[in-house]
Structure 1
């Protein structure tokens, strides 16, 4: 017997806000379009499998911080992890506020590649907040307070002590 409630069509299928089978929702003007030049949020070949692998092999520090950021646990802010942005994969991303959070081990100390990465992200509209592994393990409360301060606009200027690098900041070349 067909369900003929007001929410059903003639075939008995429920009408509603869901997309038809085999279609995305909503259908946008970009459907089927190629990746636009300069759009850093579009997938790059090989980056998605690499990001998936990084999610499976997260470090203890990333795992612990993710436990505090996932499912909107930090004051309702939605974070994602191991996200490809241009040529890089960032540890954590708050998309709505363009905030990248990076967790750094000892091998990142004075790394010219990290400085280049931060500069690239800043130039493309992302603020970067970096933490050392030991800060995540031993001082997670202050780490979360710092993240909230950046999200709420209480930290806006570049700060080497806090390791906050705002979007649009032009870093002086420390390494050549």
Structure 2
């Protein structure tokens, strides 16, 4: 397995998801995560990792951000399994309701800041 657990077989699906992003994904990407805006960290969006596609990933911190829309209410068990498998690879997943991104982006930013190592925010 490669160090980043990148799955090139999922690349076409990831590209399709990037091209058809949800409003919350677009907002979080353009306002917070793109162009190293968030504490100088590089994030990738719709990143194929193992058998999954992470909404956003910071490979340096092994941090995955998942936006949960309405469809996730029906996939709780699948999401728990996914998070567990990614944790076994050393990744930490933060799940954020898409409605929070759309309605309270400042609180989402605070949530993401809380996940950063202390030396980055002090």
Q: Same fold (TM over 0.5)?
A: yes
| More strand per residue | 2
Among candidates 54, 60, 65, match of residue 17 of structure 2: 54
| More helix per residue | 2
**How does 1:30-109 map onto structure 2 within 5 Å?**
36=1, 41-45=5-9, 47-67=10-30, 68-109=32-73
Q: CA deviation at 1:44?
A: 4.0
Other-structure match for 2:88:
123
**Distance in 2 between residues matched to 1:118 and 1:40, nearest whole Å:** 16
TM-score between the two structures when normalised by the length of structure 2 = 0.88
Tell me the C-alpha RMSD between the 2 structures. 1.8
Moved more, 95-104 or 68-77: 68-77
Q: CA deviation at 1:145?
A: 1.4
Residue 103 of structure 1 contacts residue 131 of structure 1 at CA under 8 Å; is this kept in 2? yes
**Distance in 1 between residues matched to 2:106 and 2:44, nearest whole Å:** 20
**Distance in 2 between residues matched to 1:42 and 1:148, nearest whole Å:** 25
Residue 4 of structure 2 contacts residue 59 of structure 2 at CA under 8 Å; is this kept in 1? no
User: Where does the alignment leave 5 or more consecutive residues of structure 2 unmatched?
Assistant: none
1:141 aligns with 2:117: no
Q: CA deviation at 1:153?
A: 4.4
Residue 61 of structure 1 contacts residue 136 of structure 1 at CA under 8 Å; is this kept in 2? yes
Q: CA deviation at 1:148?
A: 1.4
User: Where does the alignment leave 5 or more consecutive residues of structure 1 unmatched?
Assistant: 1-35, 155-176
Bigger relative contact order, structure 1 or 2, given CA contacts below 8 A and separation 6+? 2
- Deviations, residues 83-104 of structure 1 (Å, cap 9, x unaligned): 0000000000011000000000
Residue 40 of structure 1 contacts residue 86 of structure 1 at CA under 8 Å; is this kept in 2? no
